[in-house]
Amino acid sequence: MDIISVKNDENWNNWKWQIKNRILTIQELSKIIDLDDAEKEALKSNLLLPLAITPYYASLLDKKDTKQPLRKTVIPRVEENICSAGENKDPLDEDRYSPVPGIIHRYPDRVLFLVTNFCSTFCRYCTRSRIISKEEIYKNHWVSAIKYIKSNSSIRDVLISGGDPLTLSDTKLDWLLGELRNIPHIEFIRIGTKVPVVLPMRITDNLIRVLKRYHPLWITIHFTHPEEITPETSKACNALADAGIPLGSQTVLLKDVNDDVEILKNLFHKLLTIRVRPYYLYQCDPILGSSHFRTPIATGLNIISKLRGFTTGYAVPNYVIDAPGGGGKVLLLPKSILGKKDGYFMFKNYKGEVYRYPDF
């Protein structure tokens, strides 16, 4: 595949064509990328998560630079075959919190609804690599999952995820959202997706019409690096925002990809310009073969400390660990509380200066 010539093809902006023509093999990838020995070795090995990249996202990859951040996130490395201490194929213990197929019920008032195990592009650090692309999983489970949600009146919030829900057809999304919206105790619905980043042409006028029917609807988009914010991605996000859909972002902190305050500040600033609010910065989950992606927690804390106060608060996400073993999200903050003295609460500001507040 010649990416340059294909981009001029009339089918380039057809999202179904993009999925049909995903890059899935070392032979296809070698035609557009100069692979190094480590990449070749990985692609020839028995990977837990296979290769999959949309032509659009492949067009953002540097042909020669193996250190390019985007390239590291979608092209396998041999390190994926090294399993380190503390890693697990299901690090968040989601299967234990699944009362029926497709439902993860960890928190009291909300559920995660895994509606598909298909993604258009496979991120190498994917938390659910154990199920992505495994066709036998989550077939024909929607009815029982919706029945479970209907029978639990404490559930007020449904997060639709997967896989990537926006790879479903408009007809299926319309049916699914309609079924959820008709449940009286569901107050709002969220969708988690990376489609606007890896498949922005999926955000069609008809999809927008479908989504607008089911307000209040929120969408969280997975962004990794400033290079992902292209004219195509910007157009997709602005179209969603114009439809009245609040947009947030979630970013995974990745070693040698985005573990730098200037890179993340640039990303978060660019997100605000396309009306996406940086919401979460995740510590990378300890999936099998992820040690080369994970940073020390001190790295994340240092980044947050250099963002807070040095840029607008809207550009500072919550830094969290999704606690291994199913403990849920835990907020991590740089130390600012110094204690209490003589009736005053002592704390540091973003510059490290000490202040006190009367707390008698």
Question: Residues with catalytic annotation?
Answer: 106-107, 110, 119, 123, 126, 128, 285, 322, 329
Is the separation of the CB atoms in 103 and 149 below 8 Å? yes
- E strand or H helix that includes residue 175: helix 170-181
For residue 60, give the nearest of 121, 9, 132, 126 by alpha carbon: 121
Helix 170-181 crosses helix 205-212 at what angle (to 10 degrees)? 10
**Cis? peptide before 216, omega within 30° of 0:** yes
Burial category of 219 from C-beta neighbours within 10 Å (exposed 0-12, middle 13-18, buried 19 and up): buried
Is the separation of the CB atoms in 39 and 53 below 8 Å? no
Residue with token string 């993860």: 104
- Report angle CA 293, 296, 298 to the nearest 5 degrees: 140
Return d(Cα 216, Cα 175) in angstroms, integer: 16
- Cα Rg of the chain (Å, integer): 21
- Report angle CA 352, 357, 360 to the nearest 5 degrees: 145
